[in-house]
Every structure is written in C-alpha cells, then in structure tokens.
Amino acid sequence: ERIGYAIIGLGRISVEEALPAFGEAKQSRPVALVSGSPEKAREVARRYGIPESAVHSYEDMEKLRDNPDVKAVYIGLPNAMHREYTVRAAAIGKHVLCEKPMAATVEEAAEMVAACERARVKLMIAYRCQYEPYNREAIRIVRSGELGKLRSIQAVNTQSQGQVAQWRFNHRLAGGGALPDIGLYCLNATRYLTGEEPVDVFARTYSPPGDPRWSEIEESASFMLRYPSGVIANCLTQYDAFNDKSMTLHFERGTVEMPDAFAYHGQQMYVSQRAGSLTARTQRRMEAKNQFALEIDHFSECIRTDRRPHTPGEEGLQDQKLMVTIYRSASEGRPVEMPQPPAPTRGP
C-alpha cells in the first residue's frame, strides 16, 4: 500500500511540482493538506481526491495525529518555518520530508534532527538532484574511475529572481539570499560527487547597491571548496542573472558537462575524451524520470522498510554549517577551515 502524505504549505513547490509528482510516484499518495488558505486548499483537495475532512489550517495541524492514512508530512513552507512544522509533525508521530534548505540557521537544523530522533520518526531533506538519473550517473562516473581521477568541479546556479515582494527577500524567513535558495544545489552537488566533505572554504558575496531586493540578502555568492582528495570546486550563484544551472566535472582523462544539472527537468550530459589525436564529445542519454517522484518514493520506501534515507537531516545540517562558513569567509575575506563530520551524513 502507498504511504500517505500530508502536504503542508500549498505554494509553488507543493502545487506545481510535489503534488503532480505523486501522480508519477509508485509508493506514495497525498492524503491530507495543511494550508492557510481554505479556498486554495479546497480546490487542491478536489483535484487530488482528498476528502474535505483531511484539509486543515496551520493551527489545526495536530489533527493529523488521528488520521491513520497520514504516515508522513511533506513541508513546502518558507525556510524559517521548517523547524516548527518538523518539530510539530515529529511530536504527533509523523515522518518528515522537508524541503531544502533544511532551515534558516544551524541551530534550527540541529533541533530538527534531535526532535525526529527523539520521536523515532524519519527525517529526510528534499535534495531532489540526489535522486535525479543524470546526477546519479555523474556520481557513478566519478566512483568508477572511467575518466581517471576527478580533479575539479565548476557548478553554477543563477536565475532572475523577479521584483515581486516575497519571503525570499526577507532575511529572517529565508536565512540568506541566492546561497541557501539556489547556491545550495552547487554546494550539495560538490559533496555528493566527491563523496567527501570540504577541508576549507573561501567565499565572496555581493549585492548590487540601490536595489531594494538585496537590502537584506546577498544577490551573489561565489565560493571555492577544497576537498581532501585534492578536488577544487568553484561555485557561483546569482539572483539577478539569466538562468544557468550548469555543472562541469574535470577529470584526468575527460570532461563531463551537464548544462541543466540542477533544473527541474531537461537534464543532458556530454562526455569529452581523447579519441586518437582529437577530442571526441559525445552525448550520454539516460531515461528521463521525474526526480520529485523518485525522491518522494525513496522516502516512502525508507518508511516501509525502516531504512535511513539517502539524504537525512544530517545531510541538511552539514550544508547549513557550510553555508555559515561561506558567509564567514566572505565577511572575513579569508579561507576558513571546516572540521570533518564525525559520521557520514548520507544514508545508503
């Protein structure tokens, strides 16, 4: 039987990506909604065949406790609200699939891990790219050594974050600007590709002056991560530039280019390597799959078989610590060392 989820927060990610993905999922189904807007919730409930009795306000979220169909919650709220709803879900015995970034601060993230551990519920952070077939192929190429050792990574995530007033421009609700929202994809990718944790971090942040969008948050962040194996990762994120979600991996004997590595769909991969005296660049094709559906089904499988998720709370917590270090390096204008985490942050 499919694992039932309560969707908390009916914003863009929930309505445009997560809920439609349940249609492609094989082990998961939406069975309840938690929203601040009764009209929107009723409309979404109708669309997904969710009974009105399973539609709740934020204040009434604890009513999910008495709904045996709800085994887990999916949290699609502004970053600074993740902590509260994770803690409340854990307290009523529901597993938590929480959107990235895990939280607005390290302290919130640590509290989320502790609360879920105490309540013996599972916590997974929605790092969709770690379930996406092309990113997984890139990991496989690194581990296989087929292009030799990985030497460096360039990861870019830029977009035009429009004029509309929204929580993303509010430091308290977002925890930062381009970095936690989209730069996080670059940061997390360099960790899952290397399978290592950075030794040190060197960063710059910048906000063009005179634009109210950047009065509280950074518009740009550029950061370099050095990994124990010697891999250098150069990452760039911007909120005021044309969409670029690309990643390039440089190996001893080849290059892997992924033009839309962090996009919702449309991933591609090009592999360049020596062919006689020339360089041959070939496209590698994988079967396209809905990464949101793969991610949600992974969590359902972990719930059913009582396994540790591939991207548990600890994975999000480590990124939160790294983002603090990135901001610190930028403000101090020097590289900052990172302690190695005592245990692996990622599950099988």
Determine which residue in the list 4, 30, 76, 313 makes contact with ligand NAD, applying CB under 6 A.
76
Stretch that binds ligand NAD, among 8-16, 216-224, 233-241, 300-308 (CB under 6 A): 8-16
Alpha-carbon distance 93 to 107, whole Å?
22
Q: Which pairing describes strands 28-34 and 3-8: parallel, antiparallel, or unpaired? A: parallel
The residue behind tokens 């996009």 is 263
CA–CA gap between residue 87 and residue 115 (Å, rounded): 6
Size of the site for ligand NAD (CB under 6 A): 18
Q: Which residues pair with 273 in a beta bridge?
A: 254, 280
Identified binder of ligand NAD from the candidate list 9, 175, 254, 316, rule CB under 6 A: 9
Q: Does the annotation mark 26 as catalytic?
A: no
Which segments of the chain does DSSP mark as H helices, in order? 12, 19-22, 38-47, 82-91, 106-118, 133-144, 171-174, 178, 184-194, 291-305, 313-332
Q: Which listed range, 6-14, 42-50, 213-221, 317-325, lies at the site for ligand NAD (CB under 6 A)?
A: 6-14
Q: Does 194 bind ligand NAD (CB under 6 A)?
A: no
Smallest Cα–Cα separation from 101: which of 117, 82, 115? 82
- What are the angstrom distances between the C-alpha of 246 and each of 36, 188, 270? 36, 14, 12
154 CB-near residues (< 8 Å, 6+ apart):
233, 234, 235, 246, 247, 248, 250
Distance CA 173, CA 156 (A): 24
313 scored as a contact of ligand NAD (CB under 6 A): no
Residues 50, 54, 74, 78: which binds ligand NAD (CB under 6 A)? 78
Q: Could you tell me which residues come within 8 angstroms of residue 203 by beta carbon, excluding any fewer than 6 positions away?
A: 221, 222, 223, 224, 326, 327, 329, 330
Report the residue number, 272 or 291, with the smaller CB distance to ligand NAD.
Answer: 291
Give least dist CB 164 to ligand NAD, A. Answer: 10
Q: Based on CB atoms, which residue is closest to ligand NAD, 112 or 224?
A: 112
Distance of closest approach, residue 189 Cβ to ligand NAD, in angstroms: 13
Among residues 71, 94, 100, 122, which one is catalytic?
100
Query: According to the binding rule CB under 6 A, does residue 132 interact with ligand NAD?
Result: no
Binding letters toward ligand NAD, positions 104-123, x by CB under 6 A:
--------------------
Question: Which of 71, 100, 191, 310 touches ligand NAD (CB under 6 A)?
Answer: 100
Q: By CB under 6 A, tell whether 126 contacts ligand NAD.
A: yes
Interface pick for ligand NAD out of 3, 6, 7, 13 (rule CB under 6 A)? 13
Interface with ligand NAD by CB under 6 A: which range of 64-72, 77-85, 139-147, 310-318? 77-85
Integer Cα distance of 82 and 174 in angstroms: 11
| Of residues 134-193, those binding ligand NAD (CB under 6 A) | 166-167, 173, 181
128 belongs to the binding site for ligand NAD (CB under 6 A): yes
Distance CA 265, CA 224 (A): 27
Distance (Å, whole) CA 50 – CA 38: 14
- CA-CA-CA-CA dihedral for 316, 33, 13, 38, to nearest 10: -130
Interface residues with ligand NAD (CB under 6 A) are: 9-13, 36, 76-79, 99-100, 126, 128, 166-167, 173, 181
Q: Which residues are catalytic?
A: 100
